[in-house]
Amino acid sequence: MKISDITVMICDDSPLVIKKTGDILRKIGVAKTIHASDGEEAVEQYKASKPNLVFMDIVMPKKTGLEALREIRSFDPNARVVMASTIGTQSNLISAIKEGAFEFLQKPIKEDDILKVVNRMLKE
């Protein structure tokens, strides 16, 4: 699988974060991105689209990123969900790992971090 073949979902309640992350993904060669602005929408979008990779904020309305991660992983145990947060990193990191997160990134997410995660996913 090539980077141009994958679908990436970006889940964040900030339109700016969705835009910036999408711009980085397109710059590195990802052709298809989908978006969700809250945890509930993230679960629905995941079930409908089955993206190869998900970048998800932890703090979101309706359903937190951790709740959405738990639900997505119960639907698809092989889901690759990258959690991102600026708040209370240590406890969120532990929770995200326990819930099966593929990776945990500190916000603001940098292009290098996204590239490393995408390359790791392609190798697995």
Mean pLDDT by 10 residues, the chain (124 residues): 94 95 96 96 97 94 93 96 79 82 89 94 91
pTM assigned to the model: 0.93
Identify the pLDDT of residue 97: 83
The structure tokens 């392609």 sit at: 122
Helix axes 65-75, 39-49, angle to 10 degrees: 20
Amino acid letter, residue 62 = K
Q: What are phi and psi of 31, to 5 degrees?
A: -90, -30
Identify the pLDDT of residue 122: 93
Q: Which two tokens stand for residue 118?
A: 């995408």
Assess contact for 8 and 33: CB atoms under 8 A.
yes
Identify the pLDDT of residue 80: 97
* Residue-range definition of the domain harbouring residue 104: 3-123
Q: How far apart are CA 83 and CA 93, in angstroms?
A: 8
In total, how many domains does the chain have? 1
Identify the pLDDT of residue 87: 66
> What CATH number has the domain bearing residue 34?
3.40.50.2300
